[in-house]
Structure 1
Amino acid sequence: MITVDFEKFPLAPGMRLLDVGCGQGRHSFEALRRGCDVTAFDANESDLADVKTMFGAMELEGEIGPGGRADVLHGDAREMPFEDNTFDRVIAAEILEHIHEDEQVMAEIFRVTKPGGLVAVSVPRNWPEQICWKLSGEYHEVEGGHIRIYKASELVERLQRAGLELLDTHHAHALHAPYWWIKCASGVDNDNIATKAYHKLLVWDLMKAPRATRWTEAALNPVLGKSVVVYLRKPLGDASEAA
């Protein structure tokens, strides 16, 4: 399930891309298909092992774009082990809502992005997330769960305070919002008939991408989209910094 719109966040072969909090690697895989030099970075070593396995499978199947390469690295997003101005592109999809020191992570993202480089950040949208929290404490009151709900304006303000320039925003995954409401209402760990049926629909949509559901979701995203996605640029600065 891709959250970042790669028309708004263009990639090219050879670009260095950092996927912060890569999870199961959805954006890392797409960047590798497009020929980027990908670093999948996460605090979960089990997820990273799965991502590395998938990188190997992609190589065997010839799914890596020309010049593409990838690696995984375990670490803490609050203190990343990279030099300043390292990456052309940085993605942080659905991670900031899990971290108390979110502004520290934003500062690190700014630091490791090259001057002129692009950043894509996504978090759960405010009002769909509010409903999830009201329906289920279990949804967020767990270790590693969501610790805050952002307003889009608040997220943008914090990222700008870190030094990034806003380029664009949009909403994504409208079809997923009702699924999570049903799941929260029935119990996060209780897969009943309704949640199982809806999950099958989402998997079918993911695998087949039929026009009907793609058009429906695109039409509903501005109103119902579960995630808000923000696109930003690190200012160029002076010539010595950009060198």
Structure 2
Amino acid sequence: MLSLLKKLTAGTPAPVQPETPPATPAADKVDPYMLGLHDAMLSGWFNQQTGELFSGFPVTPEDTLLDVGCGDGGNVHFCGMRGAKIIIADIDAAKVEATRQRLGDTPARDVECHVTDCNPLPIADETATRVVSTEVIEHVDDPAQFLAELVRVGKPGALYLLSVPHPSSEDLQKDIAAAEYFQKPNHIRIISEEQFKAMVSDAGLEVISHSQYGFYWSMWMLLFWEAKVDFSNPDHPLLNHWADTWQAILASPRGTQIKQALDAVVAKSQVIIARKP
């Protein structure tokens, strides 16, 4: 059989190999954090045109803005660029120093820094015209005491921007997240929409608006736990494909409408704008 095959193929010209097509340039990898920033801006954050840190929360050069739990300083950097006086407070000295340095390239009227557990805040009564505290209340032992301090340091008429994780996202993470995610010093409580509004109202503030956003981050976090990568370098096919998909959704003709529909179902955060009487 082998000899017959050789005879049949003797003198048969070798098959022509197809030319290798030129390599397609690799698409730029989607940065999940920059995509998250874009998604947040679509939800009302960081509006350069109106000067609003979040919809309904304008910041002007005349304002004295206090950020309690400043984190990486993204919120106060925006406000510093508006020329406001900035006061930052956080329990983490390294974050306070990093944020202080980050504010160095802004036209902020002044920058005041405090390393504190906020019990109490080392700030005089009726100091701030704008008070910000995002994703902090779920960490603290006594939310009522914490909010009382925020109210104490605000001037009459001061606006408050407060956020906590939305229960829809927290419930989604419960059986998937690492155990420490729901242990001190991380999230020690899940706060319902009704509880959040009651906390703010009971502290003596008038709730102006209550909204939610962040389906993108809810799904990203869910996949993050499964990917088991480091948060500082979250490179994994699950996360990369999700970022690609979300970017394609936002770029589609009804992308914003789809985002709003999904944000209404599973949101990473809920946001309250309130006023001190």
Shift of 1:196: 4.3
Q: What is residue 29 of structure 1 aligned with on the other side? A: 77
Does residue 197 in structure 1 map to residue 240 in structure 2?
Answer: yes
Unaligned 5+ segments in structure 2 are 1-36, 46-52
- Cα offset for 1:9? 0.8
CA offset at residue 45 of structure 1? Answer: 0.6
Closer/same/farther in 2, CA of residues 211 and 53 from structure 1, 3 Å limit: farther
Equivalent pair of 2:223/2:239 in contact (CA under 8 Å): no
**Map of 2:55 onto structure 1:** 7
Structure 1 position 201, deviation (Å): 5.2
The DSSP-based 3-state class of the residue aligned with 1:51 is helix
CA distance change for structure 1 residues 108 and 201 in 2, over 3 Å: closer, same or farther? farther
Find the aligned partners of 2:268 and 2:190 in 1 and give their Cα distance. 12
2:68 match = 20
1:146 CA displacement: 0.6
Query: Over residues 152-196 of structure 1, what are the superposed CA-to-partner deviations in whole Å (9 max), with x where a residue is unaligned?
Result: 110110111111111101112221110011123444758562354
**Alpha-carbon contact 2:168-2:267 (below 8 Å) kept:** no
Offset of 1:50 from its aligned partner? Answer: 1.1
* 3-state SS in 1 of match to 2:162: strand
Q: Does 1:221 align with 2:263?
A: yes
| Relative contact order higher in (CA < 8 Å, ≥ 6 apart) | 1
1:130-141 equivalences in 2 (<5 Å): 130-141=171-182
Corresponding position of 2:221: 180
Match of 1:79 in 2: 120
Name the structure 2 match of 1:238. Answer: none
Question: Contact 2:170 / 2:190 at 8 angstroms: preserved in 1?
Answer: yes
Shift of 1:10: 1.4
CA distance in 2, matches of 1:78, 1:199: 40
Q: Secondary structure at the match of 1:79?
A: coil
Query: How many matched pairs?
Result: 223
TM-superposed CA distance for 1:36, in Å, is: 1.0
Structure 2 CA distance for aligned equivalents of residues 217 and 48 of structure 1: 34
Aligned partner of 1:88: which letter? T
Equivalent AA in structure 2 for residue 223 of structure 1:
V
Give the structure 1 partner of residue 273 of structure 2: 231
Alignment equivalent of 1:164, drawn from 194, 205, 217:
205
Quick check: 120-129 or 213-222, which moved more?
213-222
Percent identity (aligned): 26
1:108-156, CA deviations, whole angstroms, 9 ceiling, x for partnerless residues? 0111111111111100000111111221243524542110000011011
Letter of the structure 1 residue corresponding to residue 237 of structure 2: A
Q: TM-score, normalised by structure 2?
A: 0.72
Equivalent position amino acid for 1:53 in 2: Q
1:92 matched residue in structure 2: 133
Asked which structure has the greater CA Rg, the reply is: 2
User: Could you tell me which residue of structure 2 aligns to residue 145 of structure 1?
Assistant: 186
Matching residue's letter, 1:110: V
CA contact (8 A) 1:34 1:68 kept: no
TM-score normalized with structure 1 length: 0.81
Change (3 A) 1:14 1:152: same
Report the CA distance between 1:225 and its aligned residue.
Answer: 2.1
For 1:220 and 1:92, locate their aligned partners in 2 and report how far apart those are by CA, in whole Å. 25
| RMSD over equivalenced CA pairs, Å | 2.7
